Amino acid sequence: MPAPAFLAKAALSALLLPPTNGLILILAGAYWLRRRPWLGRSLIGAGVLLIYALSTPLLANALMRRLEPPPLAPAALAQADAIVCLGGGKRFGAYDESGGEAVNNATLVRLRYCARLARQSKLPVLVSGGAPLGGIAEATLMARTLNDDFGVQARWVESSSDDTLDNAKLSARLLLPAHRRIVLVSQAWHLRRAAPAFTTAGFAVTPAGTDYANREPFSALSLLPKDRALYASSTACAS
């Protein structure tokens, strides 16, 4: 059963973030079109322009890059006590997997980088992620993937969290005070929000970003709308 707080937060985000915010402007413009034509046309134009701009790789990648920390310095691993890998979602209906659920691509990218860091440093690993939409907890799937696909065993499995703040609070119960200095693995854009949450929970955090925004050379294709770019813009605005 989905967590009510999680659903409420997701619904509010959907209303405020692209493309819904642009659609709301367009609908508002349609409402005012007969009453105040200039206002109606302006709102419709603003909504269309907003959705178009946020759908271009040029703007989407620029928004993502402003959130990203520098890459992890190899020397930083030597100063840490543990690695924490955050869940980034899962797939329902994964019929090719036991149980019908599996980590999604975003989580898989995080696990790949986490496994590499764990092999390099020999640091213990905590995986964190619950099941706010029901089913198998993300952390359970993450631990399985780490072991089966990357040959790395998670020492701690935090499987009750619904969001990033929960990740931090519940991880603190498992790790503190013995493992205060952590390397925090997530998508690079996500660490701007995740790292402060873990700092507030009592950790000394070294961000370890992966899956950095695309930096392909500028071309006419950078100005063409793409669904992936709109998703990236929405993600950046949410952070």
The pLDDT tens digits for 39-92 are 999 999 999 999 999 999 999 999 988 889 999 998 999 999 999 999 999 999
- Round to whole Å and give the CA distance between 143 and 119: 15
* The pairing of beta strand 204-210 with beta strand 125-128: unpaired
- Check whether residue 108 and residue 46 sit in a common domain: no
The pLDDT tens digits for 138-177 are 999 999 999 999 999 999 999 999 999 999 999 999 999 9
Read out DSSP for 119-138?
A: HHH---EEEE---TTSSS-H
> 140, 111 in Cβ contact below 8 A?
no
- Tell whether 27 is covered by a domain: yes
Does 184 have pLDDT greater than 60? yes
- What the block records as the tokens of 91 is 């797939």
pTM of the model: 0.86
Please state whether 227 falls in left (phi above 0), alpha (psi between -120 and 50) or beta. alpha
- Check whether residue 62 and residue 78 sit in a common domain: no
- Round to whole Å and give the CA distance between 112 and 173: 25
Total number of residues shown for the chain: 239
Q: What is the span of the domain harbouring residue 10?
A: 4-66+225-238
* CATH number of the domain that residue 131 is part of: 3.40.50.620
- Round to whole Å and give the CA distance between 41 and 53: 18
